[in-house]
Amino acid sequence: MTSRLLPSWLPDWDGAEEIAGRIDPIVLHEQVGKLLDLVFADNTAFLDSLSEALESSLVPPLNILGEIYESRTSLTEFVVASRLVRRSAIPYLDDGPVELKVLIENLPE
């Protein structure tokens, strides 16, 4: 599968179709919506509260996920973008708010 936003070489494509076949897309969409709302709230206080490492690892892939979330492309692509966010942010979550940690850890592995 190809995507204009997600290169085919990303390891997050491995097993993504299988994951997409067994998850509830409505639940994933709700989880991602909460994550996007939390991070990209109207004020910048939340983003400003994150460590530089967490913010820089989270924001670029989360922007991609947000674009896919809005465009409602294939579920597999949505899973890949979710996994990319999770993989990118997990190493830095100990420095972040609990709510952010919970939302990211609930994304597909």
What per-residue confidence (pLDDT) applies to 66? 95
In angstroms, rounded to a whole number, what is the distance separating the alpha carbons of residues 89 and 92?
A: 6
Extents of the domains making up the chain: 22-105
Write out pLDDT tens, residues 23-73.
999 999 999 999 999 999 876 788 888 999 999 999 999 999 999 999 888
Confidence of residue 2 (pLDDT cuts 50, 70, 90): low
Averaged pLDDT score across all residues of the chain = 92
